[in-house]
Amino acid sequence: MIEVSEAVAAVLREASPFEPQAILLPDALGLVLAEDIHADADSPPFDKSLVDGFALRLADCATSLPVIEIVSAGQIPTRVLDQPAAIQIMTGAPLPVGADVVVPVEFTSSQADAAGQTLVSIPNKVASWKPGTNILRQGMSTRSGDLVVAAGSELRPQELGALAEWGRALVLARRRPRVAVLATGDELVPIEQTPGPGQIRNSNESMLCAQIRRAGADPVPLGIARDERAHLRQRIDVGLQADVLVLSGGVSMGDKDFVPSELSAAGVRQVFHKVNVKPGKPVWFGVLENSPTARTLVFGLPGNPVSSMVCFELFVRPALRRLMGFSLAELTRVKARLTQPHTTKGERPTYQPARLEWHDGGPTVTAVPWVGSSDLRATVAANSMALFSIGDQTYEAGSIIEVIAW
Near its own copies in 310-349, by CB under 8 A:
334-335
Residue span binding its own copies (CB under 8 A) among the ranges 57-65, 230-238, 262-270, 301-309: 301-309
> Using CB under 8 A, which residues numbered 376 to 395 contact its own copies?
376-380, 382
Q: Which residue stretch of 120-128, 233-241, 290-298, 300-308 sits at the interface with its own copies (rule: CB under 8 A)? A: 300-308
The closest alpha carbon to 136, from 108, 88, 85, 102, belongs to 102
Among 367, 368, 388, 387, CA closest to 376: 368
DSSP helix, strand, coil percent of the chain (3-state; round to 5):
20, 30, 45
Q: Which of 5-13, 54-62, 115-123, 200-208 is the region at the interface with its own copies (rule: CB under 8 A)? A: 200-208
| Cβ-Cβ contacts under 8 Å for 399 (sequence gap 6 or more) | 337, 338
Closest C-alpha among 380, 372, 374, 333 to residue 355? 380
**Residues 166, 169, 172: CA angle, nearest 5 degrees:** 95
Q: Restricting to residues 119-148, name those near its own copies by CB under 8 A.
A: 136, 140-142, 146, 148
Q: What does the per-residue mask of binding to its own copies show for 225-244, with x meaning CB under 8 A?
A: --x-----------------
Residues β-bridged to residue 61: none
φ, ψ (nearest 5 deg) of residue 76: -125, 145
Cα first-last separation, the chain: 25
246 touches its own copies (CB under 8 A): no
118/270 with CB nearer its own copies: 118
Residues of span 66-95 touching its own copies by CB under 8 A: 70, 72-76, 88, 90-94
- Footprint of its own copies on residues 156-175 (CB under 8 A)? 156-169
| Chosen residue from 51, 102, 126, 311 binding its own copies by CB under 8 A | 51
Q: Provide the sign of the torsion angle of the four alpha carbons 2, 343, 307, 228, taken in this order.
A: positive
> Does 152 help bind its own copies (rule: CB under 8 A)?
no
What x-and-dash track marks residues 204-223 binding its own copies by CB under 8 A?
A: xxxxxxxx-xx------x--
Residues 351-370 that bind its own copies (CB under 8 A): 358-363
Widest Cα–Cα separation across the chain: 103
Q: How far is the CB of 209 from its own copies (least distance, A)?
A: 6
